[in-house]
Amino acid sequence: MSDGVTISGTISGIEESVTLSLNGSSETFSSSKFTFSDKLDEGEGYVVSFISATADINCSVIKGTGIAETDISSVVVSCTPNSLSDYLCSSQTATHVNLIGNNLYEFVADEEACFGTTEDFSLLKREVSLELNNSETNSEYLSISITGKLASKEVPSSDGEVTKLYFSFDVTNTSSLALCINFQNRNGALLREGNNTIGEFSLEILGDMFYAENKYRNNCIPTGETRMAWAEVVPSLIAKQENVDNILIQPDVIELFPVNDDQFFLPALTPESGVWASSVKELAGNDSYSYEITTGFINDTPDPVQLRYETADLLFLDENGYLIEQVSASVADYLEKDTKDLVDADLTLDESGGTIKLLNEYSNITPAFGATAQILGRANRAVVHLNICSPDACTTTN
């Protein structure tokens, strides 16, 4: 005969004590895992509620109601500060800039500095095993990392599930040629529980710009080098991610090109130091926290360079390589120093000195930390992925 059903779960985003209630009976917990002392009868309903915290913290309960047929361990208590003003990373100038590829630039926060918030709030991170589709072409020309990284953001939503999930892994070109690769079919990645597929989604590659066969490609990797593939997983699959124990990676297009005078990687722009500024604004009667990024790229090549789009991908990663946010940064001429700056009408940088600026403003980081909240975690790297080409052939870019 059963001694009763236990109700337990996890607490994230706070190191101080939290008081919760189970069917009206309160209990205080001071660790990341909790189990209520009171046990319930089999088949009895349960309601877990947040009562209070010792700090200026507000907590939401996810999966906190149901019928206790067996022991319950899936309750999630997600805590965030009532105000973000003390948790925003300080404004800074990121002087450490790494050129990863001709389209890819990495800004590294100085020691003790960060991008986003000073702490991770309700971010769950784990690694999952990867397998490359056993196509002979795939295994001959590329390799992938043994594991991929999943970072999920647990916030309340209409169905009580997490609302954002990012996935990333490394791809290496093991061939002697330029490798251009796509994962953009919806089954570029298969989420699997054992051998059973429970979901699928497409992937993006942070590739270099390569010119071949009268076309520019923004998804290419030089021989022997590694680039990151990533995805923001669609909401319908997020609820299933806790059951995923392996992911099958399936490239849908692989192109290989020799590098010569007619087929080549474009020269890179020269990045400037990046200025990252945090601020607090009042929006619609409530405090709204914005994060403004301004950084420049100089064209010191002998030819004009054009950007295909008015935006560039901006990705944030933590110290362990987990992707925790991706947004679009707008391209605009913020310097206005001289006529060689960006011409907004055609997104062209003149040769030998043309300069552009990128700007992203997070206007949705509110005290309520809704589903649209941005970069709710501590990042130490920011990666900018441009899309450059020559003005006379930009329309032929993939």
Instruction: State how far the Cα of 211 lies from the Cα of 261, in Å rounded to an integer.
Output: 10
DSSP conformation class of 40 = B
CA angle 152, 156, 157 (to 5 degrees): 95
- Decide: 200 and 234 in contact? Cβ < 8 Å: no
- Decide: 327 and 398 in contact? Cβ < 8 Å: no
The total of other beta-carbon atoms located within 10 Å of residue 37's CB is 9
Rounded to a whole number of angstroms, the CA Rg of the chain reads 24
| Three-state DSSP string of 205-233 | ECCEEEEECCEEEEEEECCCCEEEEEEEC
DSSP conformation class of 396 = G
Average pLDDT over residues 211-218: 89
- And the tokens for 163? 């609302």
Please give the pLDDT value at position 135: 67
CA 12 distance to own-chain centroid: 19
CA 276 distance to own-chain centroid: 18
Domain ranges of the chain: 7-81, 92-116+267-396, 123-264
- And the tokens for 258? 């020799």
Instruction: State how far the Cα of 257 lies from the Cα of 241, in Å rounded to an integer.
Output: 37
pLDDT exceeds cutoff 80 at 240: no
- What are the tens digits of pLDDT across the range 160-171? 444 678 899 999
List, in sequence order, every residue forming a beta bridge with 27; answer none if it has no partner. 20
Instruction: State how far the Cα of 189 lies from the Cα of 250, in Å rounded to an integer.
Output: 6
- What are the tens digits of pLDDT across the range 180-190? 998 877 788 88
pLDDT exceeds cutoff 50 at 88: yes
Element (H, E) at 178: strand 178-182
Strand, helix or coil for residue 243: helix
Sheet holding 72-81, edge to edge: 33-35, 7-12, 72-81, 57-62
Please give the pLDDT value at position 255: 92
pLDDT exceeds cutoff 80 at 282: no
pTM for the structure as a whole: 0.76
- What are the tens digits of pLDDT across the range 16-75? 789 999 999 999 998 888 999 999 999 999 999 999 887 667 787 888 888 999 999 888
- What are the tens digits of pLDDT across the range 302-325? 888 888 777 788 898 999 999 988
Strand, helix or coil for residue 241: helix
- And the tokens for 397? 């870019």
DSSP conformation class of 238 = H
- Decide: 152 and 164 in contact? Cβ < 8 Å: yes
Instruction: State how far the Cα of 124 lies from the Cα of 155, in Å rounded to an integer.
Output: 11
Compute CA distances 154 → 44, 59, 76, 162, whole Å.
27, 11, 9, 4
